[in-house]
Every structure is written in structure tokens, then in C-alpha cells.
Amino acid sequence: MDLTNLVPIPVILPLVGAGITLAAARRPRVQRVVSGVVLGLVVVVALTLCFAADRVGPIVLWVGSWDSFLGIALVADRLSSLMLLVSSIVTALVVIFPSRREVTDSPDGVPVSIFHPTYLVLTAGVSNAFLAGDLFNLFVGFEMLLFASYVLLMLGATRERVRAGATYMVIGVLSSTLFLIAIAVVYGATGTVNLAQLSQRLADLPASLQLTIQLLLLVVFAIKAAIFPLSTWLPDSYPIAPASVTAVFAGLLTKVGVYAIIRLQSLLFPDSHLTPLLLVAAIGSLLVGILGALAQGEIKRLLSFTLVSHIGYMLIGVALGTEAGMAGAIFYVAHHILIQTALFIVVGLIERVGGSTSMRKLGGLSAVPVLAVLYLVPALNLGGMPPFSGFIGKVSLIQAAFAQGSPLAIVAVVASVVTSLLTLIAVMRVWNRVFWRPLPEGADTGRTPSLRTVPRIWIAATSVLVLITMSLTVLAGPLTAYAQRAAADMHGGSYVAAVKESLR
Amino acid sequence: MTPSLMLAIAGGGLLAAGVYLLTERSLMRILAGIMLASNGVSMLFLVVSGPAGLAPIVGEPKYRISDPLPQAMVLTAIVITLATSAFLLAMSYRSFQLEGHDEVADDVEDRIVRRRADRDLTSESYTQHEADEVPTDTETGGLEAAEDEPAHATTDPTSEPDSGKISGATSPTTPTQPGEAP
């Protein structure tokens, strides 16, 4: 069976779905069904690609069958199809949540019919960024997901959201401008934007020009991935969006930036690791992020800061420049997408049951044991408690850092252990105050917390997501092996070979 | 190929002016900044596309046509800038509807945290409180002691106790005064 034609499906299908849901703007039920079906199909396709890429190597499709490197290439290798699979699972599960009321918490209660089309465009953009075989298509993927995220962040256009959205949008536009400048420089220097061709031609450039290009692209992707010191926009904007939107943003958008950094460092500049620079940025992200989280009194903001902090873990793996480090980073990205989304979803449920996400106003939620379990499991996982995948990911990164052995790598190990402990303190503070403390005086809303205000399907979907994060522990062996093969792929040059082969 | 110096200087100048405008608080100036910067980037693409030539149509002699690829990229970038401008215009109008101006305000929750930190440093009762409490109260660290003070809700009208809740379009309070922050 020819699998190449499956490659563009994760981009095309959500776009078609976006068109249909836009046409059916007045029928929320149709919209939900279409979104669900489309995203479910994307999961199936991503799973197929994942296995196919593992068995036969990178699958390349030239859109429009141009017979030279001028065309647009979509490439599904092990790394991109794994990312695609994890992200499609997350988007397919989260789309269940915005039922009639949740997206529509605009003050006048009017249903926001734009949610589903925008959400599907966001999915298409994420898929496109993962599959892109050239820099410009990567830019287009980024623009699609950024634009969708502007709209989703400002759903309902309330005062708070317009304020937060303005900052977010300016940052997005600035990074896009930088990306375009970088593309212009790359094209002027090499005459191509195809990643496979670039990986060969960039090596012939003068060293100073190579470094310029690498740093330009790193800054662009670091803004998207929210790496310290380019991370300040994130905790300001993410918590303002509706809970389910924040969950997808936190899970996916920064990881697309991390994915781009992995590609950049492994494919385009395999010999220039910039280890000290990236390690310092990683240590900065880890510590500044988690100290910020400890100071917060609002749960969504606290989680946004831990998000910034944990990007540092992935960056450590990339910075080491070794295969083991890269494999650890890939595993950690997959783990973190799922876990961060799960936590934000649970906080959405807490908001629904307790009426707030501010720790000052919450308490006594241990009366709802299901919710407590749903929070505790991902929280311990994020902190890196042993049986869970967070522990496995951190251990493999720490092992890789020790194997590399430079003094700065050892500092990074110390920083990552400290961050792990501080993360545990941060999430356990929420646990103590929200679940075990009696409701503070004066904050009594006059109703007992119960799950009856929450639709049953939400509990089911959250449970599935939490179960998937737990299953990462069981699947850790195969998944780690897969991540190692993906890392070996990029260092071994099979990506470039497959792209060249496909043109014959 | 020799790149055109004039185009490069013009593109750089437009970008510099655009980035300067991006740092303003008014959304209309930000919009002007985005337009200038994106035009600057388009100029940079013109620089890398080499000297002008014939239209890139199949059949023309290859060495006389201009490079079509940068043109395709610039077109894409222009379309994206158009959409960005439209969105930003809508946003600044909405901001004008809500606030009466189109300036970007500070983050409320951020200010609450900052104010709490200031109080921690200056308040004697807090340090006393911490010294009494910490050894016995192991569950909640010193970090939280200040949170329970009701002070900031009354001393500062700009802090909304629950900024997680959307205050809504009809709320008459102004959460922040832009420009007063450092």
C-alpha cells in the first residue's frame, strides 16, 4: 500500500472540517460531531504514520509532484509522526470539553460559533508545522496556528482577554517578522529553503554566516517555545483564555517551538551544538520558571510558570548535542504535552466545581474524591514521582547529561533536580489548599461542591487523558526505544537520504 | 550576484522604525509598526531575489527572468500582514469600546504578586508573623502568610481580588491605569 498519500491528511482534513463547521455555524451539534470525527480520523492517520515511519523510514510527499526541489515537501519521519500522534490525541480529547456553555462564557452568553472552525485550523497548523519539509512551510504552519490562537485566546473579547491578547499578538507578530528575516537570509545565502538541501548547503557557508543564521532561527523558535529570557509573554497571556483553550495552548504551542529547535539543531546544524549557550538558557528557564510558579496565588498562572520551567528540561536534552540527550528530549516532549494538558483540563474542572481558580477562594474540595484523584495523579507525574513518566523522562535526561560530563551539564543536573522538588512543592501547595483546607471564611459561595455541575462526558474524557498519561509508564520501554531510533534517524542522515530518494 | 545596498538600507530603516513603534502602548501605533516592519522584510526579500528581470514565465530565456521563489514568499507574507492588520484594527476598536482608549494595560494578577512581595519586605508584622508561624505551620509555608492579609483589597482600588474571573464588558471599574506602572 502506498502510504505517501496519507501524509497530507492531518493538514487537509482539519481544514476541510473547519470549512464545514464554519458553514454550520448555527448548528452547534453538527459542529461538535464534525470536529470529533475529523480529529478522531487524524489520530488514526497519525498512528498509521507512526508505525509506517518506524518500519520503512521517512515518508516524503511532494505536494503537486514538482520534479525539483522547488515544490513543497511534507515529511513524516519518526520524530514528526510521534509528535503528530501525541498532539492529535490531545486535540481529539480536548475538543469534547467546550460544550455549549464553556466556550461561550462571554458576558452575554451568546454561543461563540467560531470556536470549532478556529480550533480545527489550529490543529491543521500544528500538523503542518510538524510535517513541514521546508523552512517556509514551517513558517506557514506557525502562522496558521498563531492566527488561530489569537482568535481562541480572545474568544468573547472581554476586557481581560483583549488586554492579554494584545501582548500575545505583538509577541507573535514580532517572532514571525524575525522568522521571515531569517528565511530571507537563508535563501539569499543558499538559494533554497528545503530542509534536506539546507542541511548540506549550510555546511559550505562561512562559519560566521552559519552562526548568524543559527542564532536568528534559535531566537525565533525560543520565543515560540517560551525559553528564558524570551518567556515572559506566556504566563501573562495563557491563563486568561477559556480553560480548554489554555489546555491545548499549554500542551501544544510551545512544544511546536521545541520541535523546531530539535529539527534545527539536529538536521540543519548537526555539528554546531552551542551547548554552553543552550544549557544556560535551560537552567535559567528551569529556575526562573519554577520560582515564579511558587509566588503565584492563581492555579492557572502557577501552571503556566511550571510550563516555562519544564521547557528547560527538553532544552537540556537538545543542548547536550548527543543522541541520548536528543532521545530524552523527545520522550520528555511527548510526556509533557499530555501531562500539561491534563493538568489544565483538571483545573478547568476545579474552576467549574469550586467556582474559582484562585487559591484564596478555594478549599474543601476533598469532598469530591474523583476530582482529587484526577488532580493528584498528573500533579505527582509533573513533579517527577517515581512510578510515573515524568520520573522516567527526567532520569533519562540526567543520565544523558552525566554521560556528556561537562561542568555546565552537571550544573544543569543539579538545577533539574532542584526544579523537580520545587515543582512538587508548587503542585502540592495547590493540593493542600484546594482540597484539604476547609473553605476560607467569607469565600463561602453558599453551595456545596459536587460533581453534579460537571457533565459526565467531561469526567470521562479527563479520566481517559489521565489514564493515557499513566500508560506512558507502562509503555516507557517501547516509547524510549522509539525516541532513541528517532534521534538516531536525525543524526544518521536518513532524513536527507529519504527526501533525495523521493525525487527520483 | 551583487545585492542592492539601497534596498538593504531602506529595508533595515523600515524595520528599525517598525520595531520602535511596536514598543508603544497604543494599538494604533503598534499597527503602524507592524506595517512598516513587514514592508521592511519584503524589501529584504527583494534584496535576496537578485536583479530585476523578465516575468518568470515558462518559455522565456532562463538567464533573463527574475527569481520567482522570493516573490511567492513575499506574496504569502503580504497576505498574512493584511490579515494581521485587519485583526489588530478590530482588536483596537474593541479595546476602544471597552476602555475608551486603545492602550495595552498591565497584568492585574502580576501587580498583585508584586505588591505582595513589597509588603513582605516592608511589613514588620509580617516578619513577626512569619517568625511565629513557620516552625509550627508546616503545611503552608511562609509564602502564603501574606496572601491571607485582606489589606490589598482595600488599600488599592486597582487590585481586583479575583482577577481570574472575567469582569465583563459592563463592569464600570477600571482595573489598571496604563502608564502609571514603571
Q: What pLDDT does residue B65 have?
A: 82
Same domain, yes or no: B19 and B87 = yes
Classify residue B123 as exposed, middle or buried by CB count within 10 Å of its CB (0-12, 13-18, 19+): middle
Kindly report the CATH number assigned to the domain that includes residue B44.
Answer: 1.10.287
| Domain contains B127 | yes
Across the interface, whether the CB atoms of A158 and B167 are under 8 A apart is answered yes
- A348 with A367: CB under 8 angstroms? no
Percent of chain A beyond pLDDT 90?
Answer: 24
In sequence order, which residues have a C-beta less than 8 Å from that of residue A381 and are 6 or more positions away? A339, A388, A389, A390, A469, A470
Inter-residue contact A167 to A236 (CB < 8 Å): yes
Could you tell me how far CA A283 lies from the centroid of its own chain?
Answer: 20
* DSSP SS3 for A498: helix
Confidence of residue A492 (pLDDT cuts 50, 70, 90): low
Residue B171 lies in a domain: no
Instruction: Show which of residues 131-150 on chain A sit within 8 Å of chain B, judged by CB atoms.
Output: 136, 140, 143, 147, 150
Average pLDDT over residues A408-420: 90
Provide the whole-model pTM: 0.85
Interchain CB contact of A177 with B (< 8 Å) = yes
B80 domain residue, yes or no: yes
* Chain B stretch 121-140, residues whose beta carbon is closer than 8 A to a beta carbon of chain A: 139-140
C-alpha to C-alpha distance for A213 and A185, rounded to whole angstroms: 7
- Asked if the Cβ–Cβ distance from A161 to B166 is below 8 Å, we say yes
Which residue type, as a one-letter code, is found at position A199?
A: S
CA distance B136 to A316: 39
Q: pLDDT tens across A8-28, in order? A: 888 999 999 999 988 887 777
Q: Is the minimum CB–CB distance between B77 and chain A shorter than 8 Å?
A: yes
Note whether B86 and B136 are same-domain residues. Answer: no
B61 and B14 assigned to the same domain = yes
B63 or A300, which is more confident? A300
- B72 and B20 in one domain? yes
Instruction: Based on the fold, state whether residues B117 and B143 are members of the same structural domain.
Output: yes
- Whether B77 and B145 map to the same domain: the answer is no
Question: Per-residue pLDDT averaged across A59-71, rounded?
Answer: 78
Q: Residue A91 is placed in which grid cell?
A: 486535540
pLDDT at residue A16, rounded to an integer: 93
User: B99, B118, B142 — which closes off a domain?
Assistant: B99
Which amino acid is present at B59?
G
pLDDT at B96: 85
Same domain for B45 and B117, yes or no, is no
Which of A142-156, A201-215, A242-256, A353-367 is predicted least confidently?
A353-367
The pLDDT value given to residue B126: 55
Q: Kindly state the cell numbers that stand for A433.
A: 489548599
> How many Å apart are CA B126 and CA B114, to the nearest integer?
16
Whether residue B163 lies inside any domain: the answer is no
Residue A208 confidence (pLDDT) above 60: yes
**CA A274 centroid distance within chain:** 24
Residue B38 domain-assigned?
yes
What does each C-alpha distance from A40 to A81, A193, A459, B86 come to in angstroms? 16, 33, 19, 33
Bridge-partner residues for A433, per DSSP?
none
Give the mean pLDDT of A482-501: 81
Residue B16 resides in a domain: yes
Amino acid, res. A145:
L
| Residue A482 CB neighbour total at 10 angstroms | 22
Confidence tier at A96 by pLDDT (50, 70, 90): confident
In a domain, B165, yes or no: no
A63, containing H or E segment: strand A59-63
Q: Indicate whether A271 pLDDT > 60.
A: yes
Q: Rounded to a whole number, what is the distance in Å from the CA of A335 to chain B's nearest CA? A: 28
B88, B114: one domain: no
- Provide the residue range defining the domain that includes B83: 5-99
* Same domain as B64, residue B145: no
Q: Which residues of chain B carry a pLDDT beneath 70?
A: 1, 123-182
Residues B30 and B82 in one domain: yes
Report if residue B160 sits inside a domain.
no
Q: What is the pLDDT of residue A155?
A: 79
How far, in Å, CA of A408 to CA of A361, rounded? 42
Mutate to test the interface with B, among A108, A142, A162, A359 (most CBs of B within 10 A): A162
Same structural domain, B36 and B120: no
Percent of chain A with pLDDT over 70: 94
Q: What is the pLDDT of residue A470?
A: 87
**Same domain membership, residue B52 and residue B117:** no
Residues 6+ apart with CB under 8 A from A126: A87, A91, A141, A145, A252, A253, A256
Inform me whether the C-beta atom of residue B171 falls under 8 Å from chain A C-beta atoms. yes
Mean per-residue pLDDT over chain A, rounded? 85
Number of domains observed in the structure of chain B: 2
The CA distance from A174 to A190, in Å, is 24
